[in-house]
Amino acid sequence: MKTHGILIGGKWQKSDSGENSQSINPATEKSIGKFETGTPNDVERAVDAAEKALEGWSNLPAPKRGDILLRAAILMEKDKERLARLVTMEMGKVIAEGRGDVQEAIDVTEYMAGEGRRLFGSTTPSELREKFCMTTRIPIGVCGLITPWNFPMAIPAWKIAPALICGNTMILKPASDTPLCAIELVKMFEKAGVPPGVINLVTGPGGTVGETLVKHRKVRGISFTGSRDVGLSTMRCAGIKKVGLELGGKNPIIIMDDADLDLALDGVIWGAFGTTGQRCTAASRVIIHRKVKNRFEKMLVGKARKLRLGDGLKPETDVGPVINRRALEKIHYYTGVGKEEGARLLTGGSPLPGKGFFYKPTIFTNVDNDMRIAQEEIFGPTLSITPVNSLDEAIEYANSVTYGLSSAIYTRSMRNAFLAIQRIEAGLTYVNSSTIGSEVHLPFGGVKETGHGREAGILGIEEFSEVKTVYFDYSDRLQKAQIDEVRQ
């Protein structure tokens, strides 16, 4: 079985630890490779390599950096099917979603390539005569990118591409459950012409590799996607540096009594059980008007019971496995919590016997808003249904959680839609669509304990650059803003 190295200064090599771990296919429980267990010293060497490469990369004109990103996108497109199958084997999502994962990586890389000919600053008038004012963008410097397993190519690309186009160098620490996807993605950028040392990759535990990156004084920016608890630790440990956090969600779909229930049904099935519920934007709550609750529940349970679980590489599979046994046990624990709290289980609620980490799509109804299954992120195929009497009550319940990432409302009323957009506390709101489906040219991120900062779109550029203000005084005399002797 192949052991995959870490990347430091353009060379794939062994870790200092002499140890390795395995990545497991969650559908078959078979190993797909061994991966080096990185150490703090490996991180130190990677930071040194990134620092050494920074001047050359940041001085390369941004349009030329964009040319390299565009080549990387083209290489991914040509190799899309192989990469998609790798995503499915290592992470578990069905092959159609594996292709979507890779397509996101292609899209964001292509989009950020175009930013190489923009990277806009701004100009504004001075309050003084013969003085010119402007802003320009400069790199942060060496960045640490820490990524999760649920989008093992898309999310690393969401961080790598804007970091590169802004002139930064970086160390990528991918999730230990999906390191091979990250390795293959980085090889695309290498092949496209990213110079040695610009991208470095160190696999290994978050408690050593990740924490060392976060604390390192030469790492000037951290971008982290993962759990709220680790995000809190990241903020405590990072010190004074730029930190972007995306920490999950407990996302509601509001269904009003005037909604198209067939359309809402498709949105709930996709939002709750797509990617086996393992998206930070997954729809884990349905907040529904009492007038249509019973009818919708029958429709939902009927469709959920027809979903076919299995290996994501098989074309007939609708729902793949969860990522590992710990996740399976956590999801089942919350099924027990829901029962103990008095929610009524409509379907699912148990793992599938045999090989693989499969959990049946699970739906609870009569879920009180203060129950744990309505408040805590489960990150699996578990959905709670809470009845309400009005839009006001629905929005109150939607906002009652500590997260604020994504949200949706199904209604035919323009008034309902705009009130939801205005009042729901979330970074994203969908009208008559599910909670998942972000596009790379629009900002992505949330509020409250979901974190801060935005990825993708023009705000992705802001995440990975600093703004410098520049003044040109061509008056040939000393002018003192605010206290100049003559103000005309």
Q: Tell me which residues are annotated as active site.
A: 246, 280
For residues 235 and 246, give the distance between their C-alpha atoms in angstroms, rounded to a whole number: 12
Strand order in the sheet with 31-36: 3-4, 31-36, 20-24
Length in residues, the chain: 488
Burial class of residue 16 in the structure, from the number of CB atoms within 10 Å of its CB (0-12 exposed, 13-18 middle, 19+ buried): middle
The three-state secondary structure class of 204 is coil
Burial class of residue 298 in the structure, from the number of CB atoms within 10 Å of its CB (0-12 exposed, 13-18 middle, 19+ buried): exposed
Burial class of residue 262 in the structure, from the number of CB atoms within 10 Å of its CB (0-12 exposed, 13-18 middle, 19+ buried): exposed
For residues 84 and 148, give the distance between their C-alpha atoms in angstroms, rounded to a whole number: 17
- Per-position DSSP letters for 59-125, written without gaps between them: HS-HHHHHHHHHHHHHHHHHTHHHHHHHHHHHH---HHHHHHHHHHHHHHHHHHHHHTTT---EEEE
Quote the tokens at residue 447. Answer: 């509020």
For residues 55 and 59, give the distance between their C-alpha atoms in angstroms, rounded to a whole number: 6
Q: What is the DSSP letter of 455?
A: B
